[in-house]
Amino acid sequence: MPTYAAALLILQGVAACSRRDDPPIPLATASPPAPAATASHAVSGPKRTVLAFGDSLYAGYGLRPGQSLPDAVRERLRAGGIDATVVNAGVSGDTTADGRRRLAYTLDRLERKPDLVMLGLGGNDVLRQIPPAETRANMAAMLTELDRRGIPVLLTGMMAPPNLGPDYAAGINAIWPDLAKEHHAALYPFILDGVLGKRQLMLPDGIHPNATGVEKIADRVAPLVADRLKELPAT
C-alpha cells in the first residue's frame, strides 16, 4: 500500500519534469453546468460563486472532465439547495509562489467577485522541499490579498511526510492552522485526509486521488463550504 513518504520519493523526480517553463497565466474556467436539481433538492437563495484556487488536487489531475474536486463540491452544494457555481482555477504543478503570482490576475478576470475562495496550494512546495518560511510567506500574501478584497476563505491544508525530517514537517504542518487563525479563514487541515495511502482511492502515482477518492474528499469539504456560504449575507 503506497504511503505519503514513498509517493514523495517517486514524485520528486517527476515534479521537476511536470512543471512548465514560464507558462502563460491561465484563465479560470467555470465547472460545467450542474444538472437541474431535483424537486426535493431545488436550489434557492442568492446565487453564489466559489473560486477553487489551487494545484493538481483541484485541477483534477488524471481524471475525466467533471470529476475534479470543484465539480464534486458544486454537486453537493446544489444537492443541498445552494445555488452555487464553482470556478475551477486549479493548475497542476503550481507551487505557492506560482499561485501568489496569478491570484490577483485570476480574481480580476472573473465576471463577478467570488463569495468564497477555496485555497489549496502547498503540495508542490513539499515535493520540492521549498523552505517552510517561503511557503508561509506566499500563503500569507494570498490571504492578505483576499482579505483586502473582502473575500472569505476556506483553506485546504497540506502536511509534510515524516521522511523529510521533524524540523521540516513541523515548519510545514503549522502553516495552515496558524494562517487560518490569523486571517479568520475556515480550515480543512489536510486535503488528502482519509484517502492517502488507500490504494482503492488513489491513482497509481499514490499521491493524487482517483474519482472515488475525490468523492470522499468532497464529502468532507463540501459541508465546510456550505456552512461558510450560509454565514454570508444575502446579496
Q: Which three cell numbers, joined as nine digits, stand for 98?
A: 506560482
Q: Which three cell numbers, joined as nine digits, stand for 135?
A: 511557503
CA distance 78 to 36: 9
Q: Which among 8, 49, 71, 40 is positioned nearest to 229, based on CA atoms?
A: 49
The radius of gyration of the chain's CA atoms, rounded to the nearest angstrom, is 17
Taken in order 217, 222, 227, 232, is the CA torsion positive or negative? positive
Give the residue numbers annotated as catalytic, written as ranges. 56, 205, 208
Spatial contact of 20 and 93, defined as CB atoms under 8 Å apart? yes
Spatial contact of 159 and 119, defined as CB atoms under 8 Å apart? no
